[in-house]
Amino acid sequence: MSDVTKLRAAKQGLGVRLDREVVGVSVKTSGAFSRAHLLIDKKTSREYVGKIYALEDPMTRVLGAREFECLNRLHHNNVVEMVDAVVSDDHLVLVTERLSGNHLLEEVLLGHTWTEAAATMLIKEILEAVAHVHDEGIVHLDIQPDNIIFPRGTSSRSAGLEGLMKALSSLSVDTAGAGGRSDLGVVSCFVKLTGFSMAQPVGQRQGLHMASIMPPALWCPDFAAPELLRVTNAIDTNEDNSEINITFAADVWSIGVIAYLL
């Protein structure tokens, strides 16, 4: 069975959740292996992101199929949602919700400081997202501030999230001073984990959750676990990396670095 056939079969299980006509209006980003377009639902004006993989290239075909498999498993308030997927002989389009808001690093650079209690609650949100990812048999491999977003203009999906925002509001400190920022993303919305380009489904081998890492190793080195840096070095030097064990612990390391940053 070809990769395209497998994707079409998998999409049948996903179902067509985006059943209205959408139009692409601009290119948001363009990377080495995919490009992202802003999509707008003509009837509702709701915005989505369409990530396009060209399937004629073996590398992009594998990367696109892998990201599709990961996103298709994930359904959690704190994880970006894939709403549809479109596949042809030439392209795969992964349609996700559009998250409009600051990344975690932007919040830090804009003068937002967390008390220890607020940082603890923020890390708890991230841990809940990652716990769901791991429960679904996926290792993220690129947990970093750029992939943690505070969406704006979205409603809380549960009373628990509203309670979290009220608690964070009393614990947060705006260090920008008088005339500074008054709309801190962290107190107005909840956390979403994004950036699943490097994510991989994992299997079990010798009692460990393992992932077979293949190029490209595009995770952020500042937040990557030591074993991921060993993989990067092995790829750069054309050495065998098959004996390097990658487990869910790699994601936990990255969360620890983020906690230190806060």
Residues designated as active site: 142
Strands 101-103 and 112-114: unpaired
Question: Can you say whether residue 261 is alpha, beta or left, with left for phi > 0 and alpha for psi between -120 and 50 degrees?
Answer: alpha
Between CA 186 and CA 171 the distance in angstroms is 11
CA end-to-end span of the chain: 47
> What's the token pair of residue 257?
């670095």
Answer for the pair 71, 196: CB distance below 8 angstroms, yes or no: yes
Per 3-state DSSP, the chain is made up of helix, strand and coil in percentages (nearest 5) of: 35, 25, 40
Sign of torsion over alpha carbons 30, 31, 35, 41? negative
Report phi then psi at 85, rounded to 5. Answer: -145, 140
How many residues are present in the chain? 262
Q: For the chain, state the CA radius of gyration.
A: 19
By C-alpha distance, which of 189, 219, 199 is closest to 102?
A: 189
